[in-house]
Chain A
Amino acid sequence: MNKWSFPLVLLIAPALVMAGGAPTNSGSVPAEVTEGRQIYEQYCAACHGWQGEGAADWNKPDEKGEMPPPPHDETGHTWRHSDAMLFRMIAEGWRHPFNKTDRLTMPAFEDILTDQEIQSVINYLKTLWTEDQRRYQQNESQE
């Protein structure tokens, strides 16, 4: 990210979050959602896309035999996981069991982000989903 893009993100993030249907009644964006977007932009967007759109052909193994980074928006499956599972994925990382390589394709962030920062990212991701998807994910989190 160059030196101009981060302030730009701060400027347009609230508008994007609103467009994504942020769960707020007052119209203001919760601080942790804004923080989550900033962290997402810094650590996640390079692989998962600036709008959470994921890699092209994310649901097929790439030339290295690895599953590419999936979308986090409404076209992906992030909304199918509980808060606890999403937290674990971000903290501990993930390797698809059928990848042909041994590395963690999703790196672990537990030594880079605080628990609060991970939770903020999850809260931001929720703004990328539909209302139905948010409801589904809320149920999963309560199971």
Chain B
Amino acid sequence: MNIQEIYQKNKKNIFFSENKDIQIHREKLINVFITDRFDKKSNESLKNINLKNFFDFKYKYLLPEETSVINNNQDSSYSIVSVNGQCASFKDDKIEITKISDKDYNDFSKNNTIEKNDHFVNLNSLFLNSGFKIIIKKNNNIKIKISNIVTDDDLTIFQKNNFICEEGSSLSLIEEYENKNNSTSNILNVIKLEKKSSLNHFLIQDNSSNHNLVITSHSSCKKESFYNQRVYNFSDGYVRNFHFSELLEINSEADLQGIFFLKDNNTSNNKTFVKHFAEDCKSNQVYKGILKDRAKATYFSNTHVDQVAQKTEGYQLSKGILLSDNASYFSKPELKIYADDVKCSHGSTIGPIDENAIFYLRSRGMSKNAATKILISSFINEELSSIDDEQMSELIQKKLIRYLSKVK
């Protein structure tokens, strides 16, 4: 693996490579890559990952000809088509979109206390070639839909986005990732929620088997803000969903949930991590996965409660259904608690579909296959019924039906 060489060769093509501060930071990152032995045993976040795919790659990037922002004032919603990680600048009285700046880069690299040694995030910082920043202005209530499109084969997109919800604002953000070409996207979303703001963030992932998606988010919540994230992964290609939240001030809340449907030889790595740094905060981390064929998945969840974070409520749930003998699921639900007045718990189950339930349904005249499908749907029913956007609910249902049609 020679990250250094790849970097030197493509430097011209990479954001901020002229900036001194950033150069120093990147040299440090390169050093980390050189010294790390990429030992899967001691670094469990590398489990099941084809290291060669990600750390010994051909760098290629194309600047797109056009990107768009469409503003529909009737229902105060915006549609953004982000091509190869780029987005056109835009400004009105509610939102402001700009290109990601070197200042944003430094802000992140200096203040990243959440997870310092994440190789994929380091890779993103090193090869950064796209990204944008969206500010939702004070007290606005808006809806944004972003379609993330990669135009060509062999592209490697390294994208960093900032989402800032100013005080009292409320954003519903739907992001779609549906790419059919042989390419890799490594995306880092840095999300800041100011006082009394809220963000409902939906990520719909449905890539073909030759597209790799690595998506990481770092969100931080100020007083009385609420970050609510839902991940729906229907991809045939590799997806890594790593999502971190920091609850910095009183009465804030983070809800990180996801469901994934894996088949064939596909792999998915998932992680959620909530750090409680203030009193009276709540967090939820719930992931459910269905795995068939030779699919593999990991899910790490972690609730960290700082000494000052009294009256914390933290909940974790991890559920996996294995539909085949060759599928495997690894989960590690962690609690790290340094405050005493807390209510934290986690539950985790892995197993087949309940045979008694199958038997019951079959005794009512249903075929085994139909029974299995019904039980899979019911397994994630709660997640699906909680979607209040009708259009999106329909979309997810369609994708679910497509997955179920492959269940024998």
Q: Is B a genuine binding partner of A?
A: no
Residues on A facing B (Cβ under 8 Å): none
